[in-house]
């Protein structure tokens, strides 16, 4: 129960931050990525702030065996960059640039019943399904 409450609160804070920063609005993201229109640098500042706040937590997490909730830390150990990783990153970036969403802001937009958020989530889930069927 404690884990569910902590996860829910973290999700609410994350979603609230996405809404306040405007990152749940695909036009804001496209304003940063599309150089053919007036450039909106606000995404860069949001990402910089997220990195500055998150980095100390990740550095601490690397040293811990258990989380603050008492669960084992399961951090990635693979540091190898391969073709699959690069292709996945390129597809993620292309989807982000075309749709103006990455998964977190898309969930926020879908939760507010925004049509573009619902379409993005449906397409993302379809892609995840195709991937899971293809890689069985």
Domain ranges of the chain: 2-134
Tell me the pTM: 0.73
Q: In this predicted model, what pLDDT tens digit does every residue of 3-20 receive, in sequence order?
A: 889 889 988 998 898 889
* Separation CA 38–CA 28 (nearest Å): 11
pLDDT at 69 over 90: no
Q: In this predicted model, what pLDDT tens digit does every residue of 98-127 receive, in sequence order?
A: 888 888 899 988 988 989 999 999 999 998
């Amino acid at each position: 129960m404690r884990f569910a409450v902590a996860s829910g609160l973290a999700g609410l804070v994350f979603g609230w931050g996405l809404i306040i920063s405007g990152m749940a609005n695909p036009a804001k993201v496209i304003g940063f990525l599309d150089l053919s229109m007036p450039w909106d640098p606000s995404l860069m500042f949001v990402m910089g702030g997220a990195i500055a706040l998150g980095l100390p937590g990740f550095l601490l997490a690397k040293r811990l065996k258990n989380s603050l909730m008492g669960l084992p830390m399961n951090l990635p150990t693979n540091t190898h960059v391969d073709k699959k990783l690069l292709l996945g990153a390129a597809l993620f970036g292309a989807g982000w640039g075309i749709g103006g969403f990455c998964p977190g802001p898309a969930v926020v937009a879908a939760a507010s019943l925004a049509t573009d958020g619902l379409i993005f989530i449906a397409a993302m889930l379809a892609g995840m399904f195709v991937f899971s069927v293809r890689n069985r």
